[in-house]
Chain A
C-alpha cells in the first residue's frame, strides 16, 4: 500500500432542493491520504469549498462505522461503492489510485426523493416498518427469556436477516427500485423466531402491501440488491417472503374486516 497522497477529480451530484433539477459538478481534491475514509475525502473537499466561499456538499453520515445506515452514496455507479459487505463510511481511499476520477451520486429511486445534493428522504421505509415490522408485546408482559428455547441455527438465521441496517442500498441498486430485500429481511428476522409466529400472516400481508403502496417496484430476479447489501443479506429471504405472501393472500382474513367483505 502506498502512503503517497492522492490527487483526485470528483464529479458530485449537486441539487439545491427536491424541486431543483440538479447536475454533476466537477471538483479537484488534492492531497488526500490513502488512509483517509471516503467520507473524510468529502470532508476535505468541503473544507476546500468553504475556504472558497462555496456551499459545502450535503451528505448523510452519522456513526461512520457501518452500523447506523445513515450514509448512502452511489460511488462510480455502485451503491456504497460496490465493495463486498461495506458501507460508504467504511470505504477507504486506499482502494483508489492517484489521478482517478470518481463519480458520486445520491440513491436513485422515485420512492427516495432527493432532499439536497446527496441526501435523500427514506421515510418510505418507515411506512413499511409501521405496517407490521414488530411483535405485539407491551412492555412488562414478557415471560422469562429462557422459557422458549430457540435452536441456535434458527437464532443465527434470524440474526443474519436482522443485520439489515435500513440504508436503502438494495433499492438504489435495483433496476426496478424494489424494496423486497429490505422488507423480506425484516419479515425473515421475525419469522425465524418463535416469538414472531403469532402475527406471521397478518404481518407479511401488511408489510408487502405497504411496500407496494410506497411505490417500490417488483423483483425481476436481477439480485443486484444482494450484491449491494453492505450486510450480506441473502436473496433467499425474498423467496421466503413470496411464499409467505402467497399463503397469506389465500388464507389470511383480517379479523377486523366485517363478514361478507
Chain B
C-alpha cells in the first residue's frame, strides 16, 4: 500500500503556498468537460460541490436525507475556530497550528494541520459574505469566545447553532449552483459501492431510497464527504442516519482506513435515561466557559447530592477539573474531561440514577453575571436541556456524562486529500488527517469547510489535469455492471434472511460491545473478547435479522440493515486497531498504558505513526501499514494542561 503523503517541501508556513504553485491547473474552458461525484452534503461535501461548480466542473452530489441542508454538520452547536486574532489576545496561525497538534496528542500530520490553520481565516470571511449571522459586538464587529484546549478566544459562533448557520451558508451556495445547472442534486439517495476501474475511482453505485432502484453514476473523480462512524456505538450524539457505509465500501475496494480506534467521547452530554434510548444529546462545550464541573468529595454525600445538589456545602464539593488542571480548569480538552468524569463515577461519586453523571453548575456564573447574561449566551442550550430532562438548569445544575461524539480516524489521505485509490478524495470527518488522536472543540466545522472551500478546489484540479476529459467511464461497462450486481445481491441477501429480530436490536447489541470494550477505556483482554463477540454477532445477524417490506420501495428497515451490516464488520477493524496500538493517545486510552496519576502515556518510539488498514478479503485479517509521523516544528512532548 503506497502511503506517500506527498507533503510539499519547504518550511511549514510555506508548504501550502508552494504546493498551490506547483499544482497543475485545468483551463477554465476545459473544466466543463469534467464530472465530479460528491457524496455527502454537509460542510465538507456541500462546500466542495458548490465551489467546484463555481469553478466550472459538473458536479453530481448525493445525500441520503431529503435535503442537503439536513446533513449532520447542522447539529454542531458551539462554534468554529479561526486564527483571526480579532481579540488581540496573542492568537496567530502558528498558535492555532500548535494548539491543534498538541490537542491531537501528536498523532496528526503537521503539514495538514498548518494548512488548516492558515485557511481558517478565509473561512470566516467566506461564511460572513454568504450571510452567516455570527454573533456580533455592539460596534458591529464579530464576537469570539474561548473553547477547550486553547487559552485565547478564537471561536466564532452563532448562539448555540453555529453548525446550522454555516451549513445554511453552504446550502445557499449549493442551491445557487443547482439552479445554474452545474450541480445535479440527488436527495434521498445512498451510496452503496465505489466503482474502481483501471486502478482509479470512476463512479459509484447508489440506491434511490424512494423507488428502491439501484443505479450507477460515473465521474472523473469521486469525493467522499460522508462523515464519521460514531454510530458504530449505537448510542452517540450523531444523527440516526449517520453511517460508515460509504467509507467502508471504499475500504473494501482498496482505500486504506487510518486509525479507526481514535474516537472522541464528548464530556458534556445528557446521560442515558433508559434502554429505549435512541440517541444522546450533546450540551455544547461552550458551556464549560461558565459552568463548573463537580461531584461530591465523598461518596457518602452522593445520595444527598443527587436529591438536592444545592444542599452540598462548598467545601464538600470536588471541582475536580479545576483541582487537577489549574491552568486550563474546566476548559481542558475533551478526552481529558471525559476520562476525569468516568474516574469520578468509577470512584462511586457519580450523581443521579445509576451513578453515571456529574454536575455542570452555573450557580456561580448566574450570581456573577446575572441570569439574563447567561440566557443570552446559552439560552437555547438551557431550553434544550430542560425539554429533555424536565429540569430547569437555571435552578438545578445540569447533570452530564460523556458520550460518543466524533471520530478522528477515517480513510487515509495524503496532503492532497487523495486516498490510496487514485481519483478518490476524502474530506471532513470521513478522512483522518488533521485531528490526530483527539479533536479540539470548534475544529470540526473548521476542517470540513477548509477541505471543501479551500483545499479540494486546488488538489482536485491537480489530479484532473492528468486525466483525459474523454476518459469518463460508461455506466454500462463491465466494471459498473459487476459492481451493480454485487450490490443487488447484497440487498437481496438482506431481504432473504427472513429471521425474527429487528435490525435495531442487533445494532444495540453491537453498540454495547463497542462501548464496554472499545469505549473510553480499553485493554487487551476486553478488545480480544470483542474480537470474538463481534464475528459471532455478525453471524447471528445474517441468520436472524428480519427486514420487512419490499426492496423496490421506500424501506427504512432495509436502509438500516445495510448500514448495520457494515458496522458489524467495521467494529472489528476498530477493535483490532485499538488492540495493536499499545499506547494511550488522546481519545484512545489503554488502561495498561497510563502514568502514575492516571494520564495517557504515549509511546513515541513505537507508535508515532498513523496505522493504516488494508482490506484483504472477507474472513481475512486486514494488513496493518504505517505512515510515520515526523514533528519538525512542534516538539514531541507530554501533553500537559496542568
A pairs with B = yes
Judge if A44 is at the interface, Cβ distance under 8 Å: yes
A196 touching B50, Cβ below 8 Å: no
Which range contains the number of A residues in contact with the other chain?
35 or more
How far apart are the CA atoms of A165 and B84 in the complex, in Å?
A: 29
Q: Does B199 contact A (CB under 8 A)?
A: no
Return chain B residues, CB-CB under 8 Å to A130.
175-176, 178-179
User: How far is A19 from B241 in the complex, measured between Cα atoms in Å?
Assistant: 27
Chain A hits for B387, CB < 8 A: 66, 86, 90, 92
Given A17-B553, A43-B276, CB of A137 within 8 Å of CB of B171: no
A158 touches B131 (CB 8 A): yes
B557: A residues at CB distance < 8 A: 50, 56
Is B453 part of the binding interface, using a Cβ–Cβ cutoff of 8 Å?
A: yes
B159 in contact (CB, < 8 A) = yes
Pick the contact of B210 from A37, A39, A115 — CB < 8 Å?
A115
> Given the known A-B contacts A123-B66, A134-B176, A195-B131, are A68 and B141 also in contact in the complex, defined by CB atoms under 8 Å?
no
- Do residues B159 and A159 form an inter-chain contact, with CB atoms below 8 A? yes
B187 near A137 (CB under 8 angstroms)?
no
Q: Are the C-beta atoms of B278 and A39 separated by less than 8 Å?
A: yes
B257 within 8 A of partner (CB): no
Cβ–Cβ contact B136 & A152, under 8 A: yes
Roughly how many angstroms separate A162 CA and B130 CA in the complex, as a whole number? 12
Docked complex: B546-580 residues within 8 A CB-CB of A: 546, 548-549, 553-554, 556-557
Whether A63 contacts B239 by the Cβ 8 Å rule is: yes
Chain A neighbourhood of B505, CB < 8 A: 47
User: Does A65 lie at the interface of the complex (its beta carbon under 8 Å from any beta carbon of B)?
Assistant: yes
| From B122, B126, B139, B187, contact of A149 by CB (8 A) | B139
Which residues in A have their C-beta under 8 angstroms from that of B279?
64-65
Name the B residues within 8 Å of A244 (CB-CB).
none
CB of B596 closer than 8 Å to a CB of A = no
Complex interface: chain B residues within 8 A of A119 (CB): 554
- What are the interface flags for A63-83 relative to B under an 8 Å C-beta threshold, 1 for contact and 0 otherwise? 111111110000000000000
* Chain B interface residue number, banded: 35 or more
User: Which of B161-169, B244-252, B484-492, B586-594 is the contact stretch?
Assistant: B161-169
Q: Which chain A residues border B215 with CB–CB below 8 Å?
A: none
Considering residues A62, A116, A129, A156, which has the most beta carbons from chain B within 10 angstroms of its beta carbon? A62
A141 interface residue, CB < 8 Å from B? Answer: yes
B74 and A68 form a contact (CB under 8 A): yes
CA gap between A17 and B549 in the complex, in Å: 12
- Considering the complex, which residues of chain A in the window 103-150 have a beta carbon less than 8 Å from any beta carbon of chain B? 115-116, 119, 121-123, 125-126, 129-131, 133-146, 148-150
Other than the known A62-B65, A122-B66, A126-B67, what 10 A-B pairs have Cβ atoms closer than 8 Å?
Answer: A35-B274, A56-B557, A62-B72, A70-B70, A116-B553, A122-B67, A139-B47, A142-B129, A152-B140, A163-B161
User: Can you sample 15 A-B contacts with CB below 8 Å?
Assistant: A36-B277, A43-B278, A47-B502, A47-B505, A50-B548, A54-B548, A63-B239, A130-B176, A140-B454, A146-B86, A152-B136, A155-B134, A162-B158, A189-B131, A189-B133
List A residues at the B interface (Cβ < 8 Å). 1, 17, 32-33, 35-37, 39-40, 43-44, 46-47, 50-51, 53-56, 58, 60-70, 85-86, 90, 92, 94, 115-116, 119, 121-123, 125-126, 129-131, 133-146, 148-152, 155-156, 158-159, 162-163, 165-166, 189-190, 192-193, 195-196
